[in-house]
Structure formats: structure tokens, C-alpha cells
């Protein structure tokens, strides 16, 4: 979810690349050993599990090119008798994406491009958003992302099977059955909305609308938010995320028509590119996105006294 160049429309993504991301994720879990249960997946791979393909009602998500992981630094710091995480990553075939930072790693795919892996953490620990914080005693760090800590509390889990990459990323090491823990619907939508507000990435808009569209009906999505609001937890994250949805996607911003906001516009461009002959298709997607977000926010406001 941190900044790096991403394809601007859906043609830049593929099922094969997404499968490689899943294999890298499973290989990464084995690197963390007994601490793998503390990892939380956020970002563009999450819709694969939140909204699994069920044709014709739920289409396949367009996929991703990277793996975003939220670390629990306290658990890592308290760990005992654990080999260097840096050395473990290198042994498994991971390498730093750049010598300038140690929170962004990559996994080279044989006969293909590298899969980017980003280690992240929330703002509840020492560190300002956009700053990387070193993991004590490790040649690895984590980038501070606003409110990423909500994924430690608001998550779902699923058991998946994937082929492990062998030592140093060569060949395979057999099929592994792993439990992955990923941001739930509310956490994912909030984090994507905040990320979009900060970066205006078309992919963030597309991931956001895909989950809001296919993870349930508008009243069902709103009900999940209302349950989180009633819990009293992470209220600042909720208010910040809902405000971002309103400002970037919805009707009700003065005289600005919702479909002309950056969120719906970039969503339409992601889905249909910039071909002039597809302008009608883009406009339909824009109006749909604005209408969907507006309706979900309306239901949330109706059921809650939380000010927007």
C-alpha cells in the first residue's frame, strides 16, 4: 500500500501474477515460523479471499502485483531464540528491493518479474506515518501506515494451499497448507479509503469498489460498519476512513456531482482505460461507484450517531 508504480488499469494485472503473489505469501509465512499467526495481510491480494470468485454473481478480482504485510513489532521484539529475520528472508530467496530501505523486499520469480513484499506497521507504535521503524536487532524495518493496526483486531482467516518456492526461490518445495489472516471487510475498506485519499491510486479505488460491491449488499456492508462503531474500538480510524469515502467517492460534497470526484473517475479509468470509444462505459462505472458508496454511507449514518 506504500508508494511504488502500479499499473493504471486492469490490463496490467493477471491471474498468473496473482497466483505467484499467493505462493510468495505462503513462502513468507514459513519464514516467520511460530510468529506467522501474528502477520496480517492487507492490500490488493485481500479481495481474492474476501470476495472469492463465484461466477456469474461474483467475478474474479483483477489481482495484484505485490504482498502487503502488517507486522506486530512487539511480538517480534519479545521473541526469543529466533534466528535473524533478515537471514531467514535471504535464505528463503527474498532480497531487499533497495539498499535505501529495509521495509521493502522482493521475491524474484524464475522466468518472470519480481513480486514486491512490503512490511508495514500501524500508528499505535513509535513512529510517524511514512517513516520506517527498524525491527530491533534485525536488518528489516516496517513502514508506518495510518491505522494499519486495526488489521490486528479486525481480520478474517482462511486455510489455503499453495506450492512453496524452494531454497533461494528455485523450483518448488511441495504444497503447503497454511492459514492466512487478512483484513476483514471493514478494515479493508477503511484502509483503502484512507490510502486513496492520500495517494489517488486507481488500483486503490478499484479494490475498494470491488469489495463494497461483492462482499455483500449495501445494507450488509453498512451493518458490519455499525457493529464496529458500536464496539467502541478504533473510532478514529472509522471516522477518518468514512470521511475519506465521503470526500473522494460520494454525493453530498456541495455542488460537486459524486461521479465527477477522483474516486469514481479513477475507478472508471482503471476498469476501461482511456480509450475514447469507451467513455460511456467509464461514465456508467463512475455513476455506479458514486451511487454505491453514497448508499452505504447513508445507511451507516441512519444507524449511527457518529458525526461525519
**H or E element at residue 165:** strand 155-165
pLDDT at 99 over 90: no
Residue 160 CA to residue 22 CA, distance in Å, equals: 9
Give the mean pLDDT of the chain: 91
The domain locations on the chain are 10-183, 185-303
Residue 49 CA to residue 92 CA, distance in Å, equals: 25
pLDDT of residue 307: 42
Q: Quote the pTM value.
A: 0.93
**H or E element at residue 117:** strand 115-121
Nearest to 113 by CA among 65, 69, 164, 67: 65
The alpha-helical segments, DSSP class H, found in the chain are 15-32, 47-50, 73-78, 85-92, 150-153, 185-199, 202-214, 218-231, 235-249, 262-272, 279-303
Q: What is the pLDDT of residues 108-119, one digit of tens each?
A: 987 778 999 999
Nearest to 226 by CA among 303, 147, 307, 308: 303
Residue 58 CA to residue 42 CA, distance in Å, equals: 20
The mean pLDDT value for 16-39 works out to: 93
Where is pLDDT greater, at 185 or 82? Answer: 185
253: left (phi over 0), alpha (psi -120 to 50) or beta: beta
Could you tell me the CA-to-CA distances from 203 to 42, 44, 119, 268, 283 in Å, in that order? 14, 8, 19, 11, 17
Amino acid at each position: 500500500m506504500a508508494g511504488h508504480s502500479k499499473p493504471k488499469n486492469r490490463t496490467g494485472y493477471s491471474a498468473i501474477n496473482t497466483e505467484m503473489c499467493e505462493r510468495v505469501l505462503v513462502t513468507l509465512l514459513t519464514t516467520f515460523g511460530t510468529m506467522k499467526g501474528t502477520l496480517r495481510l492487507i492490500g490488493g491480494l485481500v479481495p481474492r479471499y474476501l470476495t472469492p470468485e463465484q461466477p456469474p454473481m461474483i467475478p474474479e478480482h483483477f489481482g495484484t502485483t505485490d504482498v502487503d504485510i502488517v507486522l506486530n513489532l512487539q511480538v517480534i521484539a519479545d521473541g526469543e531464540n529466533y534466528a535473524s529475520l533478515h537471514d531467514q528472508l535471504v535464505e528463503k530467496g527474498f532480497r531487499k528491493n533497495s539498499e535505501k530501505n529495509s521495509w521493502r523486499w522482493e521475491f524474484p520469480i524464475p522466468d518472470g518479474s519480481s513480486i514486491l513484499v512490503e512490511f508495514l506497521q500501524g500508528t499505535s507504535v513509535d513512529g510517524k506515518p511514512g517513516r520506517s521503524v527498524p525491527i530491533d536487532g534485525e536488518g528489516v524495518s516496517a513502514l508506518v501506515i495510518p491505522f494499519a493496526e486495526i488489521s490486528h483486531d479486525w481480520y478474517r482467516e482462511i486455510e489455503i494451499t499453495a506450492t512453496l518456492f524452494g531454497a533461494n526461490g528455485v523450483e518448488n518445495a511441495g504444497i503447503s497448507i497454511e492459514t492466512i489472516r487478512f483484513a476483514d471487510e471493514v478494515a479493508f475498506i477503511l484502509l483503502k479509503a484512507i490510502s486513496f485519499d492520500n495517494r489517488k491510486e486507481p488500483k486503490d479505488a478499484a479494490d475498494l469498489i470491488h469489495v463494497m460491491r461483492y462482499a455483500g449488499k449495501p445494507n450488509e456492508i453498512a451493518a458490519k460498519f455499525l457493529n464496529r462503531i458500536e464496539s467502541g474500538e478504533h473510532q478514529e480510524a472509522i471516522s477518518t476512513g468514512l470521511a475519506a469515502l465521503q470526500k473522494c467517492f460520494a454525493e453530498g460534497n456541495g455542488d460537486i456531482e459524486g461521479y465527477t470526484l477522483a474516486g469514481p473517475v479513477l475507478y472508471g479509468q482503471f476498469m476501461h482505460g482511456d480509450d475514447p470509444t469507451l467513455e460511456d462505459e467509464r461514465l456508467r462505472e463512475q455513476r455506479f461507484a458514486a451511487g454505491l458508496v453514497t448508499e452505504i454511507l447513508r445507511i451507516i449514518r441512519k444507524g449511527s450517531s457518529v458525526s461525519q
